[in-house]
Amino acid sequence: MSYSFLIFSVFNSKFAISSEQIYRIERFDVENIELRDNHPSFYRVGDYVISLDWLTEKEVTSEDTTGISRLILYRSSSKIRGIPVTELHKVESFYDVSQISHIPKFFRGKPVLGWVHAFITANGQIIPILNLETLAIHNLGALVTH
């Protein structure tokens, strides 16, 4: 049994997403952004408009979108949503769970880190694996999701 994750960056933070949960990866085009209250909240994909999940604490403005290179599309509650990404790193496979850690017991059942499924721990780095079921619905305070 192996677990495969795509590791990517959003500004200065690294994240991982289970490869199986990725619907599609697109080149990000600023022309397709739709603003709400000056916030780049939506993105046009063909005939559809999807919501964006910004994985950052900062209040994202249109200027920030110039650093975005790709859009990871995923399906959540039968809707397609998108994660703007500054850099795609690699797909990494793990054949045992020793490099994957559960979220600390302290946070289980609490809203803090409710958007994290588990962590990849490799080469001294701790990378959160996104919980796509909760990413869009969790009100995580500083983490901006719309």
Partner 1 sequence: MAKNQNLDDLISRLEEKEKEASIIYADEETEQVVIFELGGSLFAFPGKQVFEITTFESITTVPGLPSYFSGLITLRGAVEAVVNLKYLLHLPSDSPIYGTRIIFLKSEDHVLGGLADLVFDVMAIPKSNIHPPLQTLDEAKAEYVIGDFEYKGKQVALLSITRIFSKIAELSKA
Closest CA to 5 of 134, 133, 121, 120: 120
CB 9, CB 72: distance < 8 Å:
no
Q: Is 8 in the site for partner 1 (CB under 8 A)?
A: no
Q: Which of residues 41-80 bind partner 1 (CB under 8 A)?
A: 55-57
Q: Is 103 in the site for partner 1 (CB under 8 A)?
A: yes
Nearer to partner 1, 62 or 101 (CB): 101
Q: Is 106 in the site for partner 1 (CB under 8 A)?
A: yes
Using the rule CB under 8 A, which residue among 24, 36, 79, 102 binds partner 1? 102
For residue 123, the minimal CB distance to partner 1 (Å) is 11
| H-type alpha helices, 27-146 | 132-135
Nearer to partner 1, 34 or 57 (CB): 57
Going from the C-alpha of 40 to that of each of 83, 84, 101, 122, the distances in angstroms are: 12, 10, 33, 33
- Quick one: which segment of 16-24, 29-37, 75-83, 118-126 binds partner 1 (CB under 8 A)? 118-126
Nearer to partner 1, 67 or 111 (CB): 111
Q: Which residues of 19-40 are buried (b: 16+ CB within 10 A; e: fewer)?
A: eebbeebeebeeebbeeeeebb
Burial class (CB within 10 angstroms; exposed 0-12, middle 13-18, buried 19+) of 130: buried
Interface ranges with partner 1 (CB under 8 A): 13, 55-57, 98, 101-107, 110-113, 115-116, 119, 121, 124-126, 128, 140-143
